[in-house]
Amino acid sequence: MRIVTWNMNHCQRSESSRARAWAYLRDGLRADVALVQEAQPPPGLAQCVYRPIDAANPRYNWGSAIVVFNPDLELRARPRIAASQFPRGDEVHDSHPGTTAIADIVDRDGNVQLTAVSLYGQWAYMPDGEFFAAPTLHRIFSDLSSLLLRADPPRVLLAGDFNATTQVAADGPWSKLEIAEAELTFGRARALGLHDVMEHTRANRASLDPCSCAGPKPCAHVRTYRNRNRSQSRPTQLDYMFTTPPLLAEVTSCAVVDDAAAWALSDHCPIVVDLRPPTGPAAIPGRAQNETSDTSGNEHEQVIDDSELYEMERQHMTRMARMLNGELK
């Protein structure tokens, strides 16, 4: 199964460019499933989960969406509820509508292959005019807790434009707040059991050179964004793809489509992942074995650390739920 994530830059594109971008997703990249942001899916798509961030505001009359092109797959939207409600069954909170689309991808036999989350880190504006994506991202991660903190390992793929990055520069215009927020935001994703697919498959692609990050080189960053779509702009990664461990073990390839065809249609470029069909029992969280890419010693260590964090968080949430139900004192 091929899944593509892409920010389609709806506001700044002409009607004909938008139409070409949708054709490129379906026919050029041959996506079975597309997770798109800054998008307004055209009418007539058979399988689409979408709502705009603000239909009445021309600046935000677009949003995140999930589209299925493969007729052998079925899209089932997850019911969304207000943050004040208690989630039941498949319900997921939605405290910032339009920034996430969530749906189960179901095969012909009726089996749920995975749950897909298309995510957009909408800017949160401060009264003084500053803006950050982290406040929105934290609301989204809170919403996703009921999806990710499950007793059974969930099969979740989350991808999109975070408007935030782990690519924090050693020097430059970064404030201490931005650096702290980046660590906290992406640390929170790991605490929810999510693993960076680009990091996982880094051995299969050339490293980004130069990369402005302060981390050891070569790093796992990729270019997914060009400021004002200029080819000479600083290579920037704003787009990410994460999965839970059962799906990470099924990744066969992951590529960034950093080429002229993509840049002609958006100021972001797509990330494409291929998943093989699941063959054995689902992997236990954090004990997933990397079967497809070369792993560094550091990465193995990272997986165990994250799984312990995940397990602690899950046990904490389970205990909290039992306390609320009056089972524990």
Please state the closest distance from residue 213 (CB atom) to Zn ion, in A.
3
Binding mask 185-214 toward Zn ion (x if CB under 5 A, else -) reads --------------------------x-x-
Q: Judged by CB, which is closer to Zn ion: 151, or 170? A: 170
Q: Judged by CB, which is closer to Zn ion: 136, or 237? A: 237
Please state the closest distance from residue 166 (CB atom) to Zn ion, in A.
8
Number of other residues whose CB lies within 10 A of the CB of residue 232:
7
The size of the interface with Zn ion (CB under 5 A), counted in residues, is: 4
Please state the closest distance from residue 157 (CB atom) to Zn ion, in A.
23
Q: Judged by CB, which is closer to Zn ion: 214, or 309? A: 214
Binding mask 122-141 toward Zn ion (x if CB under 5 A, else -) reads --------------------
**For residues 60 and 120, is the Cβ–Cβ distance under 8 A?**
no
Residues 218-257 that bind Zn ion (CB under 5 A): 219, 221
Q: Is 147 in the site for Zn ion (CB under 5 A)?
A: no
Q: Judged by CB, which is closer to Zn ion: 10, or 202? A: 202
Which residues are within 8 A (CB) of 139 and not within 5 positions of it... i.e. 6 or more apart?
A: 95, 96
Please state the closest distance from residue 167 (CB atom) to Zn ion, in A.
5
Please state the closest distance from residue 216 (CB atom) to Zn ion, in A.
9
Q: Judged by CB, which is closer to Zn ion: 236, or 243? A: 236
Residues binding Zn ion (CB under 5 A): 211, 213, 219, 221
